[in-house]
A and B are shown apart, each in its own frame.
Chain A
Amino acid sequence: MRVDEAFQWLSGVHGDELVVLGLGTSTQEWHRIYGADDQSFHMHTMGLAAAFGLGLAVAQPDKTVWVIDGDGSLTLSFGSILTMAEQARPNLKYLLTSNRVYGTIDGPNLPNAAATDYAAMAKAAGVERAVNVSSVAELAAARDLLSTPGFSFIVMEVDRKGPGGPKPLASYEGPEIKYRYARYLEKEHGIKVLGRLGY
């Protein structure tokens, strides 16, 4: 499956879930396909999207949170699998874009790229709803894992190469990302993020 095919499907079923995007391919593909940049938080930090999404899910237990992360980031923070597994927040859905490379920089393979089974790692940590999907049909078949309560760990195995063509970059401006997401959460989800005086 190509990464854009997976993201097209996700974009099509996305409703009011809160979205957190890992640095790199996850952010840029969601930006290119979904478009509404104010409706997702774009991480600058490799390895921290899982923790950020967990914190959001803890603070907002009645909202569903999607974390769309990359395997380069997860590789940097495998311990977060244990943290998410122990918490098992029913409103947290962790979607891993697994291309086995540092894709944003057209870079080399991840360590142990050919062999690592991320879903098996999650299962070994106690995550019951952990699956690998390698096609849009398999992703669609796993839709219940997104739409029903329960912590889900969905590994989207995608091609090493992206779709090619022009790549309109999402803004990397940290404060812009912060304020537009905070205002979106306040306006569309009724979450009080910024105080009366704006901080």
Chain B
Amino acid sequence: MEDSVQVFEQLKAAGITVVSGLPDDWIVPLLTLIEKDPDITYIPVARESEAIGVCAGAWFGGARAAAVMGIAGLLASGHELVTLNLAHQIPLLVIASLRGGIDDQLTYQVGQGLVGKPYLDGLDVPHITISEADELDRLPAAYTRALLLKRPFVTFLAKHLLITKPQTSGGIQK
């Protein structure tokens, strides 16, 4: 099966029609599927925080939107999550790769993995982690959860749900 297909299918099941994001290497296959889909408008951005704004504007426009990024993008978007989504109570579904864990051999992802979840806890932004394929049907519920909470709701995805190829970008083995 092509990488990220099951994640993509659940985004479709959630009725997502606007996606904005910035890839890391695990997210590339998902964004490739999204870009090819004629029913989803994909807005690539120069910095992840822009995706937060795009999704908020799309929500006011009546669309179901999701921001897709690596966990590093969340760290770069704290100001926007706080002063836009939390301050105005605007819902947002974020799909993020859970980098920096035991399945990630890139040294420059370690920091994000260590502080990512505590960082969101500090912002009072709820999150779940999906580690197995049979849990992916929680994605539509995650969107509804964001609506109910009126705030960002982050769904982290494990590596093997996004990409199955060996890492090549900077994956220096010792």
Residues of chain A whose beta carbon lies under 8 Å from any beta carbon of chain B: 20, 41, 43-45, 47-60, 77, 79-80, 82-83, 86-87, 174-175, 177-178, 181-182, 185, 191-193, 195, 199
A50, A193, A199 — most chain B CB neighbours (10 Å): A199
List, in ascending order, chain B residues with CB within 8 A of A47's CB. 49
Q: Is the CB of B89 within 8 A of A175?
A: yes
Answer whether residue B18 sits at the interface, using C-beta atoms and an 8 A cutoff: yes
B150 touches A199 (CB 8 A): yes
Give chain B residues whose Cβ lies under 8 Å from the Cβ of A86.
44
Q: Is B148 an interface residue (CB 8 A)?
A: yes
* Complex: A82 Cα to B44 Cα, angstroms: 10
A55 touches B56 (CB 8 A): yes
Could you name 19 residue pairs across A and B whose Cβ atoms are closer than 8 Å? Answer: A45-B79, A47-B49, A50-B53, A51-B53, A51-B54, A52-B84, A54-B43, A54-B57, A55-B18, A55-B53, A56-B61, A58-B61, A58-B63, A77-B49, A83-B44, A83-B50, A181-B60, A191-B60, A193-B61
Name which residue of chain B comes closest to A177, CB basis.
Answer: B88
State the 9 A-B residue pairs at the shortest beta-carbon distance, nearest first. A59-B61, A55-B57, A79-B46, A51-B53, A174-B87, A56-B57, A55-B54, A174-B88, A59-B63
Known: A83-B46, A192-B62. A44 touches B54 (CB 8 A): no
Instruction: Tell me if A41 and B60 are in contact (CB < 8 A).
Output: yes
Closest to A182 in B: B60
B28 within 8 A of A: no
Size bracket, chain B contacts: 35 or more
B83 touches A44 (CB 8 A): yes
Q: Report the Cα distance A174→B86, complex, angstroms.
A: 8
Complex Cα distance, B60 from A43, in Å, reads 13
- Determine whether B47 belongs to the interface, using a CB cutoff of 8 Å to chain A: yes
Question: B46 to A80, Cβ gap below 8 A?
Answer: yes
Say how far A148's CB is from chain B's closest CB, in angstroms: 21
Of the candidates B20, B41, B49, the one whose C-beta lies within 8 Å of that of A48 is B49
Q: Is B13 part of the binding interface, using a Cβ–Cβ cutoff of 8 Å?
A: no
Indicate with 1 or 0, residue by residue over B140-154, a CB within 8 angstroms of chain A CB atoms.
000000011010000
Apart from A60-B62, A191-B61, A199-B147: 5 A-B pairs, beta carbons within 8 A: A45-B83, A58-B43, A60-B61, A83-B46, A178-B88
Residue of A nearest to B147 (CB): A199
Q: Which A residues are in CB contact (< 8 Å) with B47?
A: 77, 79
Render B29-57 as a binary contact track against A, CB cut-off 8 A, 1 for contact.
00000000000010111110111111111
Question: Is B75 interfacial (CB-CB < 8 Å)?
Answer: no
Docked-complex contact A77 and B50, CB < 8 angstroms: yes
B80 lies within 8 A of A45 (CB): yes
The minimal Cβ–Cβ distance linking B164 to chain A, given in whole angstroms, is 30
For the complex, is B65 an interface residue (Cβ under 8 Å from A)?
yes
Pair A48/B60 contact, Cβ less than 8 Å: no
B46 and chain A: residue at smallest CB distance: A79
**Least Cβ distance of B72 to chain A in Å?**
15
A59 lies within 8 A of B57 (CB): yes
Q: Does B87 contact A44, Cβ atoms closer than 8 Å?
A: yes
Which residues of B have CB within 8 Å of A51? 20, 45, 49-54, 57
On whether the beta carbons of B57 and A53 are closer than 8 Å, the reply is yes
